[in-house]
Amino acid sequence: MATPSNPVPTEAPDAITGPDDLELVARAQSGDTSAFNELVTRYRTRAFSMIYNMVRNEQDSWDLAQDGFLKAWKSIGKFRGQSSFYTWLYRILMNVTIDWLRKKQIAGGTEFDDQIGLNNIAPGAATAPKGEMEPAAKISDSEIRQRIDEAISKLSPEHRTAIVMREIDGLEYTEIAEQMECSIGTVMSRLFYARKKLQALLKDVYETI
Amino acid sequence: MKPFEEQFTAWVDGELSDAELAEFEKQLAAHPDAMAEKNGAQRLGELLRAHPTAPRLTNPDFFNHQLMQRIAAEEPRPVEKERSVGFWSLSRLVWAGAFCLVSAFGLYEAMIPKPGSHGTDTDSKYFAQVVESWPSDPSISATTVYNPDDNVTVVWLDGLDYIPASATLQ
């Protein structure tokens, strides 16, 4: 079976020296803020990147990472060690981010219509918009990133979450379903439509590079 | 059977079992562009992974500093309050209750005779001193003996030479 290239986020990305996570968590649970500060140092970069992949804005990502870590501190007494600390933290960060996206969607009156551009696309049909960019044109990395940002920002929070978790964070279906509190079938369906829309928006990019 | 969308996604990700794959491939005849779609989805995944768009976290130390300030401004965490509810926490109450139950059961087993429990012990008798009586002669004392074999209680009156006919037990 094929698996995503990225590892499942159950461990710290970098080599860790000093006390392990569970020891730091135990100290944090007894009120030691310096132990929690060490946990923040270990996971702040990864948390920020994960959130940025969802919201596509640096300042919002900073604020949401702050909110996520603060929420983790407030509820660290409930952490029982049944998963890794980062898995537990990841869920908190993801929930904070999804809630923010939904509120933004409501406040801004934005409709993330995932069917836009897909109504005429049957499963298995070609999805590329024609003539958007010359195939021979070389796209710079910054342009590619901008195109990816724009494309992902057009997805609904649910579809965005599913595709980021699968393709960028490298989670399995079961892990995504657990994080999003939905069935595996729903995850697969969301992935299907998220990919369809992204393929329609980015086909010229991935076929050019 | 799973909807086409779910099967297609599992097919793209290589998550179909052999049986599911064989079944799904039968449906692909109706979708001539499916293979191109699969390749496109896989290339999309490669594109997303190859071009992480997240910038580096600038001022990471300030990130910690700001967070620690927010934590310091917060009320003490609820968990700390839960821990300071006094000696009788929930777990201690449960253990104390269990200990009391076990102790009560043990006392019951040790102290309270059961009607059928001494049937095999033919020598077992239960003596009792009658502590309150009103004999005509202070030298007379009363004792009872219970014989479980015969289910009879015998009253001993020490110091009594005879029982007057008027006081015969009925």
pLDDT tens for B103-141 read 998 888 887 766 655 444 445 557 777 777 777 777 787
What tens digit of pLDDT does each residue of B64-113 get? 999 999 999 986 655 544 555 567 778 888 899 999 999 998 888 887 76
Query: Does one domain contain both B70 and B128?
Result: no
What tens digit of pLDDT does each residue of A126-152 get? 444 444 444 445 678 888 988 998 999
Query: Does one domain contain both B8 and B70?
Result: yes
**pLDDT of A105 higher than 50:** yes
Taking CA atoms, what residue in B is nearest to A201?
Answer: B44
Nearest to B14 among A1, A168, A191 (CB): A1
pTM over 0.80: no
Q: Which of B20, B49, B74 is the last residue of a domain?
A: B74
- Asked if residue B90 belongs to a domain, the reply is no
Given a contact cutoff of 8 angstroms between Cβ atoms, the answer to whether A160 and A54 are in contact is: yes
Q: What pLDDT was estimated at residue A122?
A: 45
- Asked if residue B163 belongs to a domain, the reply is yes
Taking CA atoms, what residue in B is nearest to A50?
Answer: B54
- Asked if residue B20 belongs to a domain, the reply is yes
- Asked if residue B110 belongs to a domain, the reply is no
**pLDDT of A112 higher than 60:** no
- Asked if residue B27 belongs to a domain, the reply is yes
- Asked if residue B87 belongs to a domain, the reply is no
Query: Does one domain contain both B67 and B120?
Result: no
Residues of B in contact with A5 (CB under 8 A): 49
Taking CA atoms, what residue in A is nearest to B28?
Answer: A124
- Asked if residue B89 belongs to a domain, the reply is no
Q: Which of B24, B42, B74 is the last residue of a domain?
A: B74
- Asked if residue B32 belongs to a domain, the reply is yes
Task: Name residues 88-107 of chain A within 8 A of B (Cβ).
Answer: none
Nearest to A28 by CA among B61, B77, B83, B73: B77
Q: Which of B25, B45, B74 is the last residue of a domain?
A: B74
Residue-averaged pLDDT of chain A: 82
Range of the domain at B44: 3-74
Query: Does one domain contain both B68 and B119?
Result: no
Q: Is the ipTM of this complex over 0.90?
A: no
Q: What pLDDT was estimated at residue A137?
A: 55
- What is the count of structural domains for chain B? 2
Residues of A in contact with B77 (CB under 8 A): 31, 73-74, 76-77
Q: How confident is the model at residue A117 (pLDDT cuts 50, 70, 90)?
A: very low
